[in-house]
């Protein structure tokens, strides 16, 4: 993805569809791994995502396990 605040953009996508899909989660993890750090903006976005999930407003979509 490699854009400024890519994690924030991924979180916005999850908030828009009200789901954290395995694809979005994998992209977030890839960004974190590639960057090796997290910006304040991305950190705040992840905090918001976790708060929304804790409140039940964002559904965690499980991986269907297809191989």
Of 4 and 25, the one with more pLDDT: 25
Confidence of residue 65 (pLDDT cuts 50, 70, 90): low
Please give the structure tokens belonging to residue 29.
């993890």
For residue range 5-60, list pLDDT tens digits in order. Answer: 999 999 999 999 999 999 999 999 999 999 888 999 999 999 999 999 999 999 99
Q: CA-CA distances (angstroms) from residue 18 to 12, 13, 34, 38, 39? A: 9, 8, 26, 23, 23
pTM (predicted TM-score): 0.85
Other beta carbons within 10 angstroms of residue 23's beta carbon come to 12
36-60 CB burial, b ≥16 within 10 A, e <16: eeeeeebeebbebbeebeeeeebee
Break the chain into its structural domains and give their ranges.
4-58
Confidence of residue 66 (pLDDT cuts 50, 70, 90): low
CB 61, CB 19: distance < 8 Å: yes
């Amino acid at each position: 993805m490699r854009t400024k605040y890519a994690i924030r953009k991924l979180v916005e996508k999850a908030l828009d569809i009200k789901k954290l899909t395995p694809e979005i989660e994998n992209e977030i993890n890839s960004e974190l791994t590639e960057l090796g750090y997290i910006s304040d903006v991305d950190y705040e976005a992840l905090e918001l995502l976790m708060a929304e999930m804790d409140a039940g407003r964002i559904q965690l979509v499980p991986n269907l396990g297809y191989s």
